Amino acid sequence: MSIRSTDQGLRDAFVGMADGAVGSDACPQAERIFDAASGALGPGETADIIDHITTCGACAESWRVAAALAPAPGRASWRRRALWYLGGALAVAAAVVLYARRAPPTRAGPVP
């Protein structure tokens, strides 16, 4: 199972659990709470949700559960960085091999 499908499964499970726990019509949707807790929303939207959960116990509890289930924000980024490092290392290795295999320089004329 891929990381993305596992993350989506956790999100779907949270949404199914939290939909019945929403306190009022003013409460954000469970998907938005999960996305905010996992860092998928922008700072403005996340701030709006945080403002709401300071006054709504049902949403605050949903936030706590979402934060526990949400993937760590840095998890994907270290893999991305690792791929960049691997790509850089391969590029350097290819350059060294090409340099070593190049034809030796030839002299055009007599040496003075």
- Condensed to tens digits (0 to 9), the pLDDT of residues 16-47 reads 665 555 566 788 888 888 888 888 888 899 89
Q: Taking the CB of residue 10, how many other CB atoms lie within 10 A of it?
A: 17
pLDDT at residue number 3: 47
pLDDT at residue number 92: 85
Give the distance between the most distant pair of CA atoms in the chain. 93
Q: Is the pLDDT of residue 4 over 60?
A: no
Q: Is the pLDDT of residue 2 over 80?
A: no
**Burial of 40: CB neighbours in 10 Å, binned 0-12, 13-18, 19+:** middle
